[in-house]
Amino acid sequence: MNTLLKALISNSSNELITYARYIEAALYHPEFGYYMRDKQKIGRHGDFITTSNISDLYGRMMAKWFSLVCKRAQLAPVFCEIGAGNGRFAKAFLQEWKDKLQTPLTYIIVESSPFHRKLQQELLLPDFPIVQVNSINEVEAFEGMIFSNELFDALPVHVIEKHNGELYEMMIGIRNNDLYEQKVPLTNSDILIFLQESKIDLKEKQRIEVPLAMVEMLREISRTLLKGVVVTSDYGYTNEEWMNPRRTKGSLRGYFKHQMVDDVLQHPGEMDITTHIHFDYLIQKGEQEKLELISKIRQDEFLLKAGILKELENHYDPNPFSEVSKRNRAIRSLIMPTGMSSYFHVVIQQKGLNINLSDIFRE
């Protein structure tokens, strides 16, 4: 990876690259990128954990809810998951569909990582028919639902700061085999447009991430979805929350063996890199791409509306290791105010439909 970064930096103007270019290489380079490598990343032996890896309940609840949405909105049962990781969400979803719903379903997985595609095949085939593609560009336009869990937080971002009233973009260089950061006057017009559209006015010495890649992803999602619903589960802040004094250093960070790392220039290609997403910008740019907002709610509230409490077993089992006890604990962990779900929000958008929140949840 260091050889690759040396070449990228030495071949760039002023021998500096943006954080976005660095993150793209560190995470997505076909050979050296973190997500592309043959390495376990999710779970106890990886670097981080996701909601769908706590329990199969998340995937099963999403399958039930998707079935309801299809009936209420008269949609074809076509479900597209972008970034399916190890495939555990897909397995839970497909198992629920097979056990309870038993109607024809098309399940499309968009996955750029060959390692993850292999894991998904091992976990899902031949029991569950799936369609795997490398990029969303390969998906033919369809009607249905597009779902992602922690997708936008893993996209490359630019980093800017304000000093003495002037805006600077933080760039990355290399010296004596060590990566270093250097600020240069901000000239990227797309970043300036982002600040103007978001109405974000940085305070002195404030740092923030700029998600230009988000715009292209939303454009591709809208191109792919002729009619239906887009569901985005992720963590992030509103514009107002971004301006909280506690967030003046931004949110860019890494996860290495379940330890948070503030300096993302460490362990390039060996560490997950993530950032909180701009929810207001996601909604605003979605509207421009004909993705109309239905709701933005916390993930635990979403699961409650979707009926997760009905999954609780009514009888008490004194054995804490029984399937009943483990399932009930998993449900509580997903809906407790201090649980993992409370840090996530679910953004629900629609295209070509005319539905509201009450239409897509059971009364």
Residue by residue, pLDDT tens for the chain (363 residues) are 678 898 999 999 899 999 999 999 999 999 999 999 887 655 555 555 666 666 788 999 999 999 999 999 999 999 999 999 999 999 999 999 999 887 899 999 999 999 999 999 999 999 999 999 999 999 999 999 999 999 999 999 999 999 999 999 999 999 988 999 999 999 999 999 999 999 999 999 999 999 999 999 999 999 999 999 999 999 999 999 999 999 999 999 999 987 999 999 999 999 999 999 999 999 999 999 999 999 999 999 999 899 888 877 555 566 666 676 676 677 677 777 667 677 899 999 999 999 998 899 875
**Could you state, in order of their start, the residue ranges of all structural domains in the chain?**
35-155+212-235+276-360
Q: Which helix (H) or strand (E) holds 292?
A: strand 292-298
Cα–Cα distance for residue pair 276/279, rounded to 1 Å: 9
Cα–Cα distance for residue pair 39/45, rounded to 1 Å: 10
Is the torsion defined by CA of 333, 88, 262, 183 positive or negative?
Answer: negative
Query: Which are the contacts of 13, defined by CB distance < 8 A and separation ≥ 6?
Result: none
| Pairing relationship of beta strands 78-82 and 207-210 according to DSSP bridges | unpaired
Maximum alpha-carbon separation in the chain: 67
The length of the chain in residues reads: 363
- C-alpha distances out from residue 21 to 15, 18, 64, 91, Å: 13, 5, 39, 33
Q: Which CATH number fits domain 35-155+212-235+276-360: 3.40.50.720, 3.40.50.11400, 3.40.50.12710, 2.10.109.10?
A: 3.40.50.12710
The candidate with the shortest Cα–Cα distance to 359, out of 65, 29, 12, 34, is 65
Cα end-to-end span (Å), the chain: 53
CA angle 257, 258, 263 (to 5 degrees): 80
